[in-house]
A and B are shown apart, each in its own frame.
Chain A
Amino acid sequence: MSSHAGLQSDNEMMEASIHAPEYASTHERNTARPRLRIAIQQKRFGAKAVLGKVAFDVHAGEIIAVLGASGCGKSTLLRAIAGLDQDWQGAIEIHAANAHRAPIVGVVYQEPRLMPWLTVEENIALTLVAAEPAPESNQTQTVDAPNKNTNPSIDGLLQAVYLENARHCLPKQLSGGMAQRVAIARALVRAPDVLLLDEPFSALDILTRRRLISLTREITAHFQTATVLVTHDPDEAVRLADRVVVLAHSSTAPPDAAGATICADIRPSSDPADKFREVEGIIATLHHHKQAAHR
Chain B
Amino acid sequence: MNSLTTPPTTAISTQPTALFLSTIHNQKRNWFPAFPLGLVLPISALLIWEAVSALGWITAHLLPPPSALLRTFTALAGDGSLAVHIGVSAARVLTGFVIGGSCGLLIGALVALNRRVNDLVDPSLQALRAVPSLAWVPLLLLWLGIDVAPKLTLIAIGTFFPMYLATVASLRDVDRKLVEVGRQLGFRKRQLLTKIYLPAALPGLFTGLRTALGLGWMFLVAAELIAATSGLGYLLTDGRETGRTDLVLVAIITLALLGKSSDAVLVYIERLSLRWRDVADPQANSDREGIKHV
Given contacts A109-B177, A111-B177, contact A173 B187 (CB under 8 A): no
Q: Are A113 and B288 in contact (CB under 8 A)?
A: no
Shortest CB-to-CB span from A65 to chain B, Å, is 21
Shortest CB-to-CB span from B30 to chain A, Å, is 25
Q: Are A116 and B278 in contact (CB under 8 A)?
A: yes
Complex-state Cα separation, A116 to B187, whole angstroms: 18
B145 interface residue per 8 A CB criterion: no
A83 interface residue per 8 A CB criterion: yes
Residues of B within 8 A of A165 (CB): 292, 294
Q: Are A172 and B278 in contact (CB under 8 A)?
A: yes
Shortest CB-to-CB span from A120 to chain B, Å, is 10
Complex-state Cα separation, A199 to B22, whole angstroms: 39
Residues of chain B from 64 to 80 with CB closer than 8 A to chain A in the complex: none
B273-294: CB near A (< 8 Å → 1, else 0) gives 0011110000000011011111
Residues of B within 8 A of A105 (CB): 184
User: Which among B96-104, B113-121, B195-203, B250-258 touches the partner chain?
Assistant: B195-203
Shortest CB-to-CB span from B93 to chain A, Å, is 30
A151-167: CB near B (< 8 Å → 1, else 0) gives 00000000000111110
Shortest CB-to-CB span from B217 to chain A, Å, is 30
Complex-state Cα separation, A127 to B294, whole angstroms: 23
Residues of A within 8 A of B290 (CB): 169, 173
Q: Are B293 and A175 in contact (CB under 8 A)?
A: yes
B185 interface residue per 8 A CB criterion: yes
A213 interface residue per 8 A CB criterion: no
A interface residues, tally (CB under 8 Å) = 30
Complex-state Cα separation, A118 to B275, whole angstroms: 10
A205-218: CB near B (< 8 Å → 1, else 0) gives 00000000000000
Q: Are A116 and B188 in contact (CB under 8 A)?
A: no
Residues of chain A from 86 to 107 with CB closer than 8 A to chain B in the complex: 105, 107
Residue in B closest to A186 when the chains form the complex, CB atoms: B181
Q: Are A130 and B288 in contact (CB under 8 A)?
A: no
Residues of B within 8 A of A82 (CB): 184
CB < 8 Å A-B pair total: 72
Residues of A within 8 A of B177 (CB): 109, 111, 113
Given contacts A172-B276, A172-B288, A173-B288, contact A163 B294 (CB under 8 A): yes
Shortest CB-to-CB span from A250 to chain B, Å, is 23
A32 interface residue per 8 A CB criterion: no
A126 interface residue per 8 A CB criterion: yes
A20 interface residue per 8 A CB criterion: no
A18 interface residue per 8 A CB criterion: no
B interface residues, tally (CB under 8 Å) = 28
B9-25: CB near A (< 8 Å → 1, else 0) gives 00000000000000000
Residues of chain B from 196 to 218 with CB closer than 8 A to chain A in the complex: 196, 199-200, 202
Residues of A within 8 A of B291 (CB): 173-175
B240 interface residue per 8 A CB criterion: no
Residues of B within 8 A of A111 (CB): 177
B175-188: CB near A (< 8 Å → 1, else 0) gives 00110111111111
Shortest CB-to-CB span from B177 to chain A, Å, is 5
Q: Are B188 and A134 in contact (CB under 8 A)?
A: yes
Complex-state Cα separation, A174 to B187, whole angstroms: 26
A273 interface residue per 8 A CB criterion: no
Most buried by A among B183, B290, B291: B291
Shortest CB-to-CB span from A170 to chain B, Å, is 5
Residues of chain A from 238 to 276 with CB closer than 8 A to chain B in the complex: none
The 6 closest A-B pairs by CB, nearest first: A172-B278, A117-B276, A130-B186, A130-B185, A117-B199, A173-B291
Q: A residues near B, CB below 8 A?
A: 82-84, 105, 107, 109, 111, 113, 115-118, 126-127, 129-130, 134, 162-166, 169-175, 178
Additional pairs, 11, CB under 8 Å, beyond known A116-B277, A173-B287? A117-B199, A117-B276, A129-B195, A130-B187, A163-B294, A164-B294, A166-B294, A171-B276, A173-B290, A173-B292, A178-B293
